[in-house]
Amino acid sequence: MTVTKLDGPHVVLLATGGTISSRASETGGAAVASDTGEDVFASMGVPAAHPVRVVDVFRKGSYLLTVEDMIAICARIRLALADPQVLGVVVTHGTDTMEETAYLVDLTHDDLRPVVFTGAQQAADSPAPDGPGNLYRAIAVAGSPQSRGRGVLLEFAGTIFPVTGVRKSHTTRLDAFANPDFGTAGSVSESGEVMMQAARPGMAPLPLPDVAAGSPRVDLIASYPGADSTLLRASLEAGAAGIVLQGTGTGNANRALCREVADATAAGVVVVTSTRVEAGAVVPRYGDGGGDDLRVAGAIPSGLLRPSQSLVLLSLLLRLDTPTARIAETFARRGAPPD
């Protein structure tokens, strides 16, 4: 663990790996997370907008992360914020699952000081890496008084997003993230000038479970043309306590999947219906295997939450031994359109 000790107000940088820390490997040239947090911080090449203390959490591509890893990041954020001199926290993270980890942090964050996620699309040794600029701007956001009380944010390519509803929207473009349903929270210039929009009301945080408290299995199953219940049944046989069904359209499936969902919910498995569509709410509307039949079968609509964040919320609620009725209430509240 690398730590740069600082006295006085400062931002903590928690480095977890990702493209922002990646370089071509010696064997085959594929990029792997290799730079330390100090390396990532030094790559900016200019003084940060605020003093920074650097902590290495781990070095992984975010496609390798588990829910336990994400809970560990939450715990390290809480540890950093135990210091009253900390203005805010920046987490450098791979973009593949940034929307999941950031959402888990947001669900459990109980502090006025901000947590800002950022990363990169271009590796550290690419001809024009974007990580240094993203990191510089994220540090400016984390230390800004305007960010207090905003919960968890994601800064990428100068745009600041609220974490609920954020998603990676392009595989390679530098402005890789979007939030079509909840919009943006503000922007930050290349020189670190932070401009925040009016804050939306927040929600009470959920408890952060202990990693040792158990890890109920939650699987993501997709509906698609010709899909049957084979994969859903295999998930149940593997011991899934929860399932996120990635439906089509407004959250639809087919008759075979509906029958299996009904059997699953009758056996106590929690099923949440989301959608593969980019924007808009899950609305139980259609019969003959559609979303209304899924509702009758006991599935819970995810509202505006897409499969990635639905899986995070369901995993957290199951780890907290939340009753099914309360899970449904939580999805209805947290998946509702912004005021």
Q: 15: which strand partners?
A: 56, 92
Residue extent(s) of CATH 3.40.50.1170 domains in the chain: 10-196
Nearest by Cα to 87 from 62, 106, 113: 113
Over 60: is that where the pLDDT of 251 sits? Answer: yes
Residue 201 pLDDT > 90: no
pLDDT (0 to 100) of residue 1: 43
Q: What is the pLDDT of residues 96-150, one digit of tens each?
A: 999 999 999 999 999 999 999 999 999 999 999 999 999 999 999 999 999 999 9
This prediction has a pTM of 0.96
The predicted-structure confidence for 20-39, as pLDDT tens digits, reads as follows 999 987 766 789 999 999 99
- 216-334 adopts what CATH topology? Rossmann fold (3.40.50)
**Catalytic residue numbers, as ranges:** 19
How does pLDDT run across 146-185, given as a tens digit for each residue? Answer: 999 999 999 999 999 999 999 999 999 999 999 999 999 9
- Distance (Å, rounded) from C-alpha 161 to C-alpha 184? 5
Distance CA 286, CA 199 (A): 36
Q: Could you tell me if 248 and 224 are in contact, meaning their C-beta atoms sit under 8 angstroms apart?
A: yes
CATH domain 10-196 topology:
Rossmann fold (3.40.50)
Within the chain, all domains assigned CATH 3.40.50.40 are found at 216-334
How large is the average pLDDT for residues 268-284?
Answer: 98
Burial level of 256, CB count in 10 A (0-12/13-18/19+)? middle
- Res 4 pLDDT > 80: no
pLDDT band (50, 70, 90) for residue 3: low
